[in-house]
Structure 1
Amino acid sequence: MEQSEPAPTPATEVAIVGFGPVGAAIANLLGRYGIETVVIDKSPDIFMAPRAIALDNEALRILQWVGLDETAFARIAIPVVRMRSPLLGEFGRVNTLGCIDGHPKLVTFHQPDLEAALRRALECHGHVRSMPGTELLGFTQDADGVVLQLRRGDGAPFTLRSRYLVGADGAASLVRRLIGERFDGATYAEDWLIVDAKHVPAPIDHVEFLCDHRRPTPHMVAPGGRERWEFMLARGESRQDFETDARIAELIRPWTGGRPVEIERRAVYRFHARAAKAFRRGHVFLAGDAAHVTPPFVGQGLVAGLRDAANLAWKLAFVLRGHAGEAILDSYDQERRPHAAAMIAFARFMGRLVMPTSAARALIVHGIMRLTRLIPPLRRHFEDLGVKPRNRFAAGLFRRSHHRCRLACGEILPQGLVRDETGSLRLSDDALGAGLVLIGFGTDAVFGLEREQQAALAAAGGSVAQVCFRGQHLHRAASGTVLEDLTGTLIPGAAPEGWVALVRPDRTILHQGPAAEIGRILAEGLALLSAPGPGMAEARKIAG
């Protein structure tokens, strides 16, 4: 009897392990480029208890790229973060009122709502499949990618071949352990009781840190009539004693007056400050909590994971579509790991303000903070979050320019409100699209390019845009997009008139300079991508 050939192993371009917000965001971003993607998660459903609670303007901008608008999930804009001491009163505050890049500086949200919105957004990407209830058993790497060993919810094993694998499977990441990656850092010695409640009688509208050395307590408002408290347990206190209804009622009595509230979640955690030694190993990448865990004192845990998603997804897509060479994937670790480490250090610094270990230490630390408020530059530096590490790169996938400009290479292009050629008002990221873009500020960049250069840009997944200042009426661009900057955010806010910038899909400046040097700027920028295709060969030829 003739034997039949074994069935071929199913294949995909990218496999993502972990269907939390970071994994779902990466899947959505890959979906924009039509990348065949499979998302795997052991859990069959969304975990419905609230966990992450804060997002900043950077995270909201990334979610905008994902396709989530202001109505996609509930959020509450936070006007101020207050730090209070029983000894000195309010010794510090952070002004979070207003917007940056078209989004509130700080919002709180309900994580199950966000995860549901991210999964709904995936429905419009036919190239993305989700497989909840599927467990990763192991994987092997070879020259062509990764072969995953999986198990369905019914217990049936199967294999899946993928060109790349992204581990977004949380702090206890199996993917990280299977590649043997270290997860260095520290675990705080203190236990914290997290209490999420609904229908609190006198809700607050902000975030406050009650920095009492006897029991530090962050407290914040959240959508759906929710509030959260985080109570630090003292040495010798038992977590079992603090998870009882009676003990929780006693702890939140100052805010409830003893009236009953609905307790949505209670859990005791220890906070961690850890990061992997490398975010890439061969065809495998780590993202979110699998790559780094940040203490919650600055609300940057999920935000950092979304930054990972924005940085990694377009690079994978450009490599898979032949717009760039595989070498650009090394820049993911090069760019993201230093910033993640800086944000962990910042969170630990803020933790020392929130949780002093003694009355004497509290008096000294909080007293110094209060004194700095008497010096206007120092007060503004702290209150306007000048101490927060900026999301800019010291090294990575960008070309250093000898030209001085308000916006440097390796930094993020601001976002503003623009009017397109149809008269519609849009945020500039939406108008510029998801690809590489060569922007002329107050000038039509196409007129400075030869036909071959335009072809090289198109081969690298790029397009051309012209940004005019408000009221400027330039002739219609020879090709590409024409946008009128209504707020001055881009011109002259980011760049002067007669300037050009080659901008990555994650809005990082790849290269920039005067419009007179546009050919060199384009060629040098495209050469960094180093794709093997004919368009990139032409770019290298142009670059000389």
Structure 2
Amino acid sequence: MTAHHDPTHVSVLIVGAGPVGVTAALLLARRGVRTVVLERHHDVYPLPRAVAADDEVRRILQAAGVQEEFAAIARPARGLRLLDARHRVLAEFPRTAQGAHGFPQTSMFDQPELERILRRALARAPECDLRGGVEVVAVEQTDDGPVRVTYRDDAGEHLVRADAVLGCDGANSLTRDAIGAVWEDLRFEERWTVVDVRTSLPVRCWEGVEQICDPRQPATFMRVGDDRYRWEFRLENGPEPDDERLRELIAPWVDRTRPADFEVLRQARYTFRARVADRWRLGRVFLLGDAAHLTPPFIGQGLCAGLRDACNLTWKLARVLRQGGDERLLDTYESERKPHVRHVIRLAVAMGWAMTGGQDSAAAIRRGVLGTVLRTPGLGTAAARDFSPALAAGPLVRRRTHGAGRRLVGRHCPQPWVTAHGHRTRLDDLLGSSFAIVTAPPPSPTVQAIANALGARTLHTTGLGDDGRLTTWLREGRADAVILRPDRVVMDVVPSGGRDFTATAAWAPLLRSARTPLPSRRTTPAGPLRSPAP
């Protein structure tokens, strides 16, 4: 981590050094973008908060360069169960040990441990400068100049100008206020008590997350580590539970009548809310994570959503700042992420209703309907797939009128283990951090020209040592080849059967400008990138 004294101008300034802000800095660093990260605290927040990550998020951590370290602290989980008041199973949402992204579909972890891993990686990155113990007091976006950020430390006030600012400063975001964004309330608000425990006592545990769907006493339980557990209880009225009341609450899982180690690491009351900011961007100022959206924790997607924000935005921002991408490319951040966030929040709210039924006059009816729905065969498997649906059609997601490739566009490419130069590696580590083209037949001249213009690596699926997984994926999607974005979402396809690109793609003018050439392995055609006719 470099130490320079209050430069007057930086490429990207990040407000907040939580997991979202630091991950964004690491992803930008891997694309050569320098960042300054400003954080109120000198060290990571020591108490546990987020505890779950899905396989897509583990793939993002892989892209940030911390996957191996994260794997050492992660514990795979079997999924989610909904139980009734007598702890009988209402529904099960299974998560597999190997998801499409190449990792367990659900992993439990301790957030302070993750944050320490991210901070160590940040310290190794010369492109990143973390300044702790500072307070950001103003973020000002001018019409025709850099963003002005004022912060205060022990030495006084400082002004930094930045080409872009990422507001990763949480639910009480100053950055959100600075761009004039306000909350849209999605009508869920409940007060819950969260209890984190370390114990050597035997705990009755399913090795997944359990949601108790009891409107009188809804609860959540999960095992976080070898001897770490979390309970969450809705306790609307009265004081925080004392030791005797806590003993009663956790009795279905653990018997505390015997003397043994039982350490309460944290007991805190939280208000779970469902909210989305009405705008996520003003000029070159962006909102990420809890600054942009709040979700109840019932499906474990709060932190996951913030890391998806970082993954979606950083490659686009790097493209604009370093490779001549069109400014309109940045508009796709909110248009792609906000629908997904709304989808996830609705799932979380639905899970909350399943647990509590709500508290209004329609609660009993809603509980009855949800109880019937939850017993629908196959619902659990479908819901497990639905945490990350395909992106809707847009400038960077080209939907074709015919059926070929429609199942692939807007979705992530799977990540199998592959063999390259005699070594086994994950697909993304082979492809690198930019665009890629994965093709079954030899690439046509058109496809090769696009690869050259994008600076994309072309990967032939033959002989990869992946048991034909990518070839099968392309064949089932009725595609000969796919163009992968840096976040590994399929941007466009070459339909199977010898058909090729026949028109200018909407993504072409966004990804490069005529004034700044893209790096490529061959000569890049002059002028804006287009999909040439075959």
TM-score above 0.5, yes or no: yes
| Contact preservation (8 Å) 1:41, 1:132 | yes
Cα displacement (A) at 1:417:
1.7
Question: Bigger shift: 176-185 or 381-390?
Answer: 381-390
Match of 1:122 in 2: 122
| Contact preservation (8 Å) 2:399, 2:406 | no
Deviations 1:147-188 (A, max 9, x none): 111112x14211111100000110111100111101111564
Cα displacement (A) at 1:492:
1.2
Question: Bigger shift: 121-130 or 493-502?
Answer: 493-502
- Measured in 2, the distance between the counterparts of 1:410 and 1:25 equals 23
Match of 2:458 in 1: 464
Deviations 1:26-45 (A, max 9, x none): 01100101101111111111
Match of 1:480 in 2: none
Question: Bigger shift: 403-412 or 212-221?
Answer: 403-412
- Measured in 2, the distance between the counterparts of 1:405 and 1:394 equals 14
- Could you say what secondary structure the match of 1:340 adopts? helix
Cα displacement (A) at 1:494:
3.7
Match of 1:526 in 2: 508
Aligned positions of 1:335-354 closer than 5 A: 335-354=336-355
- Measured in 2, the distance between the counterparts of 1:140 and 1:293 equals 24
Q: Pick from 51, 54, 61: which aligns with 2:52?
A: 54
- Could you say what secondary structure the match of 1:501 adopts? strand
Cα displacement (A) at 1:399:
2.3
Q: Pick from 10, 13, 23: which aligns with 1:12?
A: 10
Residue 388 (1) aligns with residue 368 (2): no
Match of 2:183 in 1: 183
Aligned positions of 1:400-439 closer than 5 A: 400-403=399-402, 404-405=404-405, 407-420=407-420, 422-439=421-438
Match of 1:489 in 2: 469
Deviations 1:252-289 (A, max 9, x none): 24433224510000100110100011111111000000
Aligned positions of 1:27-42 closer than 5 A: 27-42=25-40
The letter for the 1-side match of 2:218 is: P
Gaps of 5+ in 2: 518-523
| Contact preservation (8 Å) 2:82, 2:213 | yes
| Contact preservation (8 Å) 2:87, 2:212 | no
- Measured in 1, the distance between the counterparts of 2:132 and 2:231 equals 31
Match of 1:475 in 2: none
Identify if the C-alpha distance between structure 1 residues 530 and 401 changes in structure 2 by more than 3 Å, giving closer, same or farther. Answer: farther
| Contact preservation (8 Å) 1:503, 1:510 | yes
Aligned positions of 1:52-91 closer than 5 A: 52-72=50-70, 73-86=72-85, 89-91=88-90
- Could you say what secondary structure the match of 2:461 adopts? strand
Identify if the C-alpha distance between structure 1 residues 312 and 297 changes in structure 2 by more than 3 Å, giving closer, same or farther. Answer: same
Identify if the C-alpha distance between structure 1 residues 17 and 512 changes in structure 2 by more than 3 Å, giving closer, same or farther. Answer: same
Cα displacement (A) at 1:526:
3.1
Match of 1:211 in 2: 213
| Contact preservation (8 Å) 2:494, 2:501 | no
Identify if the C-alpha distance between structure 1 residues 180 and 232 changes in structure 2 by more than 3 Å, giving closer, same or farther. Answer: same
The letter for the 2-side match of 1:69 is: Q
Identify if the C-alpha distance between structure 1 residues 208 and 88 changes in structure 2 by more than 3 Å, giving closer, same or farther. Answer: closer
- Measured in 1, the distance between the counterparts of 2:276 and 2:323 equals 31
| Contact preservation (8 Å) 2:433, 2:486 | yes
Cα displacement (A) at 1:525:
4.8
Cα displacement (A) at 1:398:
2.5
- Measured in 2, the distance between the counterparts of 1:409 and 1:528 equals 18
Q: Pick from 232, 235, 260: which aligns with 1:233?
A: 235
Cα displacement (A) at 1:25:
0.7
The letter for the 2-side match of 1:346 is: L
Aligned positions of 1:259-274 closer than 5 A: 259=258, 260-274=261-275
Match of 1:310 in 2: 311
- Could you say what secondary structure the match of 1:492 adopts? helix
- Measured in 2, the distance between the counterparts of 1:33 and 1:124 equals 15
Cα displacement (A) at 1:223:
1.6
- Measured in 2, the distance between the counterparts of 1:168 and 1:304 equals 12
Deviations 1:309-331 (A, max 9, x none): 11000001111112421110000
Identify if the C-alpha distance between structure 1 residues 82 and 364 changes in structure 2 by more than 3 Å, giving closer, same or farther. Answer: farther
Cα displacement (A) at 1:80:
3.5
- Measured in 2, the distance between the counterparts of 1:283 and 1:361 equals 44
Cα displacement (A) at 1:459:
5.2
- Measured in 2, the distance between the counterparts of 1:519 and 1:383 equals 36
Cα displacement (A) at 1:46:
0.3
- Measured in 1, the distance between the counterparts of 2:10 and 2:342 equals 32
TM-score norm. by structure 1 comes to 0.86
Cα displacement (A) at 1:201:
1.1
Cα displacement (A) at 1:460:
3.6
Match of 1:103 in 2: 103
The letter for the 2-side match of 1:462 is: A
The letter for the 1-side match of 2:214 is: D
Match of 2:483 in 1: 502
Cα displacement (A) at 1:347:
0.8
- Measured in 1, the distance between the counterparts of 2:296 and 2:529 equals 45
Identify if the C-alpha distance between structure 1 residues 24 and 287 changes in structure 2 by more than 3 Å, giving closer, same or farther. Answer: same
Q: RMSD in angstroms over aligned alpha carbons?
A: 2.8
Percent identical residues:
34
Cα displacement (A) at 1:250:
3.5
Match of 2:224 in 1: 222
- Measured in 2, the distance between the counterparts of 1:517 and 1:14 equals 42
The letter for the 1-side match of 2:445 is: G
| Contact preservation (8 Å) 1:417, 1:487 | no
| Contact preservation (8 Å) 1:460, 1:526 | no
The letter for the 1-side match of 2:223 is: V
- Could you say what secondary structure the match of 2:323 adopts? coil
Identify if the C-alpha distance between structure 1 residues 495 and 409 changes in structure 2 by more than 3 Å, giving closer, same or farther. Answer: same
Question: Bigger shift: 384-393 or 130-139?
Answer: 384-393
- Measured in 2, the distance between the counterparts of 1:267 and 1:542 equals 56
- Measured in 2, the distance between the counterparts of 1:191 and 1:160 equals 39
TM-score norm. by structure 2 comes to 0.88
| Contact preservation (8 Å) 1:278, 1:337 | no
Gaps of 5+ in 1: 1-6, 473-483
- Could you say what secondary structure the match of 2:319 adopts? helix
| Contact preservation (8 Å) 1:25, 1:309 | yes
- Could you say what secondary structure the match of 1:184 adopts? strand
The letter for the 2-side match of 1:141 is: Q
Cα displacement (A) at 1:391:
3.3
- Measured in 2, the distance between the counterparts of 1:365 and 1:230 equals 22
Match of 1:193 in 2: 193
The letter for the 2-side match of 1:176 is: R
- Could you say what secondary structure the match of 1:195 adopts? strand
Identify if the C-alpha distance between structure 1 residues 281 and 48 changes in structure 2 by more than 3 Å, giving closer, same or farther. Answer: same
The letter for the 1-side match of 2:209 is: V
